[in-house]
Amino acid sequence: MDVLQTKESLAKELTQLKGQGRTIGFVPTMGALHRGHLSLVDCSRRQDDVTVVSIFVNPTQFNRRDDFEQYPRNLTSDLKDLEEAGVQVVFIPGEAEMYPEPDHRTFDFGQLDKVMEGHYRPGHFDGVAKIVSKLFDAVQPHRAYFGEKDFQQLVIIRDLTRQMDYDIEIIGCPIVREPNGLAISSRNKRLSAEQRKQAAQLSRVIFQARQYADRYAIDQLKAWVVAELNKNSEMDVEYFEVVDEATLTSVNAWSDAYYKRACVAAWVGQVRLIDNVKFYF
């Protein structure tokens, strides 16, 4: 496994591999790797000749400096996991490599970045778009893999790829969950053992909501989910929305769209968690 720190060394290696006719799959990460990340690696290894993983904690996508500073980092463990997973190339640039000068670009995603995460984390998706576009320029993969846990991000990255005319296939991979149903996230490491148990209610309730959908109008279901989650003294719901998967606009009636996604964000103590589930009917 080759571990590279500069765009120049990365380009040199990937040019050689592409010259041999090999397809490149790319998994961008911020490290603190878990089974969710490794599932993306597995998806890439099944479809591509070479899998590239980046590890870079991107400062421009954090709204709070303390959140950036507290983001878990464990490079030694991450590299061990990636080598065991069969990754061929790891790109671990420093901040100066990715941002040699301030990046003042802004992106127009229409309504996609104005709702849910975009509403509560203004500027977040501009930061995501900056780093993803930089990484796409550096790696120039054939395919890139993103988890569906960050569903809004996935939709926006697909739009970014279209806007910037990247010849990259964006692959969304299913959410990986802990045995109690909690969506696996690097942020889970900041939960206490008790909070981790309580946080599992997030997935239990939204899956229940899908079962109850034929009994309630959407506004009633949304009110029920928020009330049910807020019964938990450890939890404070930020939003629960049912949206059209393509446009991320709120669905007001079940007949408004066939491909729907229920998305939720909630604080468990000082840790902010998100989750989602498909509503296809």
| Residue-range domains of the chain with CATH | 2-173 (3.40.50.620), 186-280 (3.30.1300.10)
Active site residue 104: no
Mean pLDDT, range 153-166, rounded to an integer: 98
Q: How confident is the model at residue 71 (pLDDT cuts 50, 70, 90)?
A: confident
- Residue 72 pLDDT exceeds 80: no
Mean pLDDT, range 255-278, rounded to an integer: 96
pTM given for the model = 0.95
- Residue 66 pLDDT exceeds 80: no
What is the rounded CA–CA span in Å between residue 237 and residue 222?
A: 11
Quick one: pLDDT at residue 69?
Answer: 79
Q: Mapping DSSP to helix (H, G, I), strand (E, B) and coil, where does residue 272 land?
A: strand
Q: Which of 37, 119, 124, 142 is catalytic?
A: 37
What is the rounded CA–CA span in Å between residue 160 and residue 256?
A: 26
Structure tokens at 178: 């802990």
Mean pLDDT, range 123-128, rounded to an integer: 95
- Tell me the pLDDT tens digit for each residue of 186-204: 889 889 999 999 999 999 9
Q: How confident is the model at residue 272 (pLDDT cuts 50, 70, 90)?
A: very high
